[in-house]
Structure 1
Amino acid sequence: MTSEQMSNYKRFLTNQEKLFDKLFKSYDPGINAVYTLYHLPETNVTIHPPRFEIEIQLSMLKLVEVVEPEEKATFLFDYQSNWYDPRLTWDPEDFGGINHIYVPRSRVWIPETTIVDCSEVKVFDNEYTRYVWLHSNGSIGMYTASVTSVVCQMDGNGEWQMNSIQMTIEPVVDNMTYLTRFEGTFSRNPGFYIVLVMIPAYFINVLSIVALFMDIENRSDKFTVGMTNIMSMSFILVILSEDLPKTKNLPILAIYTVTSLAIMLVSLTAVVLLPKLKNYYANRRLARGEKIPKNDEVPRTCWGRIKFYFKVEYVFMAVFQIANFVNFIIIFT
């Protein structure tokens, strides 16, 4: 720093000290700056100053945490407040051209602002000395950082991303008090659950359905395959029940898993009943005197060959595979 720069800096500090003494010599931050003489008789012709106004500007909104079972979202909420205090005005020409200064928050009156409709608020204003900026026309501004938790309805199907944020101002008491409402819209990116839940569950069902309807006569092994799949789906549901919110509307991910479980239950039921149905119809044909072809004997008629190669269990397998695929695809629509 040159000698001229140092001289100017010392001159600034001297003028700032004089300004500080002038502003805060008789200033009491405990006295409210809000004008309160509005409720006078209608016959009074006094010209009143404008109503006290606070300008609030959202500086940053960051999603910190989502507790899905409690349907609670926590945000880092940083906003700027600006207001006017006529007691803190000066002429910059009297103080070396200084038109704004920074003073500790404890030295000025700060209007109360409250974050409503939330379950928990932590404001970071006592951990270290914070300052406000003060302009020569009496305008004051400051930043406030807080961690705010809100309870909102959720549809849990993935990780979160912000879509939009809107601000509205609503009068709440005779147009004298206003509520500033910030409304953020978030959607979920389902990639995490698609990779770790949906795709594995889909292919588990595909392989299980194939195993169930191949060699359908061996029912003991089929029952083991079916029960193993049902236990896997039940285990996935237990995991999801701990992470997804408890709402009256089931999340799509839970619906997908329950539907996959239902498809496997119906498939297992069909595997158990099909051999009995085949034996029942075979006995009826024998009772009518019809010839029952052997399992490895290819029929001579065209329709007989179609029934030989496209057995009923293969038809059931195709139906359940289609149902499993539709259940997988419909979640993206």
Structure 2
Amino acid sequence: MKYFSCYLLCAVAIIFVLNQDVAEARYPMSNEARIRDYLLNQGNFSARERPVLDSDDPVHVIMMMQFYAMLDLNERDQVITTASWLTMRWTDERLSWNASEFGGEDIVIIFMDEIWIPNVFITNVLDIDSLSIISPERGSILLTSDGSVSLGTPLVVATQCPINIYYFPFDTQACQFVFFPQNQHTEKMIYNSKLLPSFEPLQSTDWTFLNITSHNHTFQIPDFATNLPLANVSVPVICLILERNPAYYIRTLMVPSTLLCIMAFVTFVAPPDSGERISLSVSMVLGLTVFQLLVADILPATNEQSPILSAYLTFTFVLACATVPFSLVNINIAYGDSAILALKYRWSRKLFLDYLPRLTSVPTYSDRIRTIHDEIAPTNLAVSSPNGNDEGVSFASLEKLVSRSEKTKIEARTVALVMDRLIGTIFSIAFLVLVIKTIIDFTGNQGLPNDICESGVV
């Protein structure tokens, strides 16, 4: 029985060894598996150590971004959401092999948790889940035989983008992506940003992509560590330059608001007895109020310079509102039953009933009296001239034919029409000056300076 047990154990061992040989024969180790085993199973290899043989040497990391979509730019919240591909490259001096010894295999795929990778985050990111832009769940690592490591990962992040709204909607914006290393100063880590051509020209209905630039800055951080009171940190920055397409806002904001303001001034052309002047003016004011609310919903609240368009809409709103009280005053004058006090002076009567009507193309007081005389002349032959015409009849004689109440109404109507034309002209001139000033302000827009992102973080 004792010998039988020994024979049985030997047989099991022999079968196990034979099975192993058969498995190895059926599934031989690939060149990639041999390389991984050769590199990662070294006794002194650690994925937690920096990839340098000399601890005094810094690791040089190159960062590249390829933008392929801008998902959203919320001007009110000042947030931009983009989709891009982030590539990081560095050299791991410990991970190199002779490709000829491994069947000419020059590239292998490595998992992120198997080797050392740089740890960076975007400082102006707004999503807490995007603080760690590199995670083992996404992306891949390519390792070449000379130790070059290339890490690629998709990047969809919402970052803060300060919006300068002064020249809205003819504005240009600069949105930055600031990469900051975690507890790694320049003596240990040096980052450099570069750009690769985009997959295709970035498209957006509201924005035109002018340029994408990369910059490398070095910031000094005090009290970086206990024994290192002042440290330099390498910070790469990617800058996205955008220009807004103003066509939509010109059609939906500027043109309608301008036409509504002009319509408010046109109410002064309507006669006081039309009965629709006040309702038309109020309708124009309500329309401009809607445009003010639209601009308030689009633009962010800021204590800096207000946008030129907002000031333009505000002044047009004020001018349109001012037409309502002036229209009420003129209607009150036109329908007044008592004589106008301003006409008790001779010079004022001459001014409002003769000179200003001629200047504003309004029938004068004397023209209205003669018109009334022409209507009643057949029944008042006493004031007619002997030859049957009234060319030689004096104006004073014609005026006596009109009752006092009728003359008061004629004076009031003449003054009201004159005031309508004068106020409408003044408002039109004020509006024209406002338009010219707004155009001049917009022409001062020179765009962003070329070095907007070179001097540092904006």
The bucket for the TM-score relative to the shorter chain is 0.7 to 0.9
**Cα distance, 1:273 vs structure 2:** 4.1
1:28 to 32, 41, 46: 46
CA–CA separation in structure 2 for the residues paired with 1:178 and 1:133: 24
* Cα distance in 2 between the residues matched to 1:177 and 1:287: 80
**Could you give the per-residue CA deviations for residues 224-252 of structure 1, whole angstroms, max 9, x where no partner exists?**
22222112211221232222110122223
Does the alignment pair 1:212 with 2:221?
A: no
From 299, 316, 323, the counterpart of 1:260: 316
Q: Does 1:233 align with 2:288?
A: yes
| TM-score between the two structures when normalised by the length of structure 2 | 0.57
The residue matched to 1:69 in structure 2 has which SS? coil
User: What SS does the corresponding residue of 2:30 show, helix, strand or coil?
Assistant: helix
Give the equivalent residue in structure 1 for 2:119. 112
Shift in CA distance, 288/51, structure 1 to aligned 2, threshold 3 Å: closer
- In the alignment, does 2:223 pair up with 1:223? no
Instruction: Specify the alignment match of 1:193 in structure 2.
Output: 249
Equivalent residue for 2:343? 282
Say which SS state the counterpart of residue 161 (structure 1) adopts: strand
The aligned amino acid for 2:233 is T
Q: Deviations along 1:149-182, whole A, 9 cap, x unmatched?
A: 1141331437333222322211224775311122
Bigger mean CA offset, 168-177 vs 89-98: 168-177
Q: Secondary structure at the match of 2:312?
A: helix
Question: What percentage of aligned pairs have identical amino acids?
Answer: 17
Partner of 2:452: none
Partner of 2:85: 78
Larger radius of gyration between Structure 1 and Structure 2 = 2
Alignment partner, residue 5 of structure 1: none
Aligned residues: CA RMSD: 3.6
Following the alignment from structure 2 to structure 1, what is the Cα–Cα distance between the partners of residues 135 and 369? Answer: 86
How far did 1:203 drift? Answer: 1.4
Unaligned runs of 5+ in 1: 1-11, 39-49, 301-306
TM-score computed with the length of structure 1 as normaliser: 0.76
Of 415, 421, 425, the residue aligned with 1:314 is 421
Q: Is this contact kept in 1: 2:113–2:136, CA < 8 A? A: no
What is residue 366 of structure 2 aligned with on the other side?
293
One-letter code aligned to 2:236: T
Q: Which residue of structure 2 aligns with residue 98 of structure 1?
A: 105
Task: Report how far residue 83 of structure 1 moved.
Answer: 0.7
- Do the aligned partners of 2:139 and 2:153 also contact (CA within 8 Å) in 1? no
Partner letter of residue 253 of structure 2?
Answer: V
Alpha-carbon deviations, 1:243-293, whole Å to 9, x = none?
211012222332221121012123334334456789444343499799942
Partners of 2:369 and 2:270 in 1: CA distance: 16
Measure the CA separation in 1 of the matches of 2:136 and 2:366: 89
1:160-179 correspondence runs (5 A): 160-173=207-220, 177-179=233-235
Distance 1:295 1:124, change over 3 A: farther
User: What's the offset of the Cα at 1:186?
Assistant: 2.1
Counterpart residue type for residue 109 of structure 1: W
d(CA) in 1 for partners of 2:291, 2:147: 62
Is 1:68 the counterpart of 2:80? The answer is no
Q: Which of these residues, 29, 33, 40, is aligned with residue 17 of structure 1?
A: 33
The amino acid of 2:164's aligned partner reads M
Question: Residue in 2 aligned with 1:131?
Answer: 140
Give the gaps of 5 or more residues in structure 2. Answer: 1-27, 171-205, 221-229, 335-339, 355-364, 372-390, 392-413, 444-458
Partners in 2 of 1:167 and 1:131 — Cα distance? Answer: 24
Verify: 1:245 aligned to 2:300, yes or no.
yes
Q: Which residue of 1 aligns with 2:399?
A: none
What is the DSSP-based 3-state SS (H/G/I as helix, E as strand, rest coil) of the residue aligned with 1:137? coil
CA contact (8 A) 1:105 1:132 kept: yes
| Contact 1:219 1:272 (8 Å CA) reproduced | no
